[in-house]
């Protein structure tokens, strides 16, 4: 069994890779939307990950697992509303969401980088010295 597909759960004394973490987080997320019976089944024998629809971006196994968890989360809550065609579309849209998620996750942010909840530069600008006046700069 590939390392990435080991059963989820903390293993004392072992660190987990970012890839493993992503997969586990995805599986945990999916579990919240599964009925208890299916959850037991999933724990005993992980369900195969369905093929992505044609034209979907190529995804790593971890990303594909996250996509599938997303699909199951939606179908678990609202599945009875959708036709097969719509379910397929949800799978395609779920796969398309993976690229922006991974791109944002890959961006380096240190702990001090806080979320932008307002126009901080605009509000803080008055605390900084004003930049050189452009009109004066170009006067002959």
Partner 1 sequence: MLGEEILYLPLSELARRIESKKLSPVELTESYLERSRKFGPALNAYALLTPEIALEQAHKAEKEIRGGHYRGSLHGMPFAAKDLLAVKGLPTTWGAQPYASQVFDCDSAVITNLKRAGAVMLGKSAMIELAGGSSYRFASASLTGAAKNPWNTSCWTCGSSSGSGAIMAAGLAAFTLGSETWGSILCPAAFCGVSGLRPTYGRVSRFGAMALAYSMDKIGPLCRTAEDCARVFAVIAGHDLRDRATLPLDKAAFTYSPATERRPPSRIGLLSNAWKSLPPEIAALLANARKILRRSFPFIGSAALPTGPFEDAATLIMNAECASAFADLLRSGAAAQLADPLEQLSVYVSETIPASDYVSALRIREQLQYKMEELFDSFDILVTVSQPVTASKLDLNLETGLSFPDPLGAIGNLCGLPAISVPCGFAPDGLPVGLQFVGRAGNDLGVIQAARAYQKYTNWHKKHPQLR
* Footprint of partner 1 (CB under 8 A): 25, 29, 70, 73-74, 78, 81-82, 86, 89-90, 93-94, 97, 99-101, 103-107, 109, 113-123, 125, 131, 134-135, 137-138
Structure tokens at 99: 């690229």
User: Between 51 and 103, whose beta carbon lies closer to partner 1?
Assistant: 103
Q: How far is the CB of 54 from partner 1 (least distance, A)?
A: 14
Nearby residues of 16 by Cβ (< 8 Å), 6 or more positions away: 24
Q: How far is the CB of 6 from partner 1 (least distance, A)?
A: 22
H or E element, residue 25: helix 18-31
Q: How far is the CB of 1 from partner 1 (least distance, A)?
A: 27
Q: How far is the CB of 61 from partner 1 (least distance, A)?
A: 19
Q: How far is the CB of 78 from partner 1 (least distance, A)?
A: 6
User: Between 38 and 87, whose beta carbon lies closer to partner 1?
Assistant: 87
User: Cα–Cα distance between 16 and 18 in angstroms, integer?
Assistant: 7
User: Between 40 and 97, whose beta carbon lies closer to partner 1?
Assistant: 97
Structure tokens at 2: 């590939």
Nearby residues of 64 by Cβ (< 8 Å), 6 or more positions away: 49, 52
User: Cα–Cα distance between 86 and 138 in angstroms, integer?
Assistant: 60
User: Between 35 and 117, whose beta carbon lies closer to partner 1?
Assistant: 117
Dihedral over alpha carbons 88, 93, 96, 98 (to 10 degrees): -100
């Amino acid at each position: 069994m590939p390392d990435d597909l080991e059963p989820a759960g903390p293993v004392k004394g072992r660190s987990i890779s970012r890839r493993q973490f992503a997969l586990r987080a995805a599986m945990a997320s999916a579990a919240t939307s599964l009925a208890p019976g299916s959850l037991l089944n999933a724990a005993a024998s992980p369900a195969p990950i369905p093929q992505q629809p044609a034209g979907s971006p190529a995804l790593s196994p971890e990303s594909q697992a996250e996509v599938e968890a997303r699909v199951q989360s939606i179908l678990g809550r609202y599945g009875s509303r959708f036709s097969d065609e719509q379910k397929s579309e949800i799978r395609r849209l779920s796969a398309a969401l993976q690229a922006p998620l991974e791109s944002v996750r890959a961006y380096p942010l240190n702990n001090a980088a806080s979320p932008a909840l307002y126009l901080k530069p605009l509000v803080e600008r008055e605390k900084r010295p004003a930049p050189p006046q452009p009109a004066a700069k170009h006067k002959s």
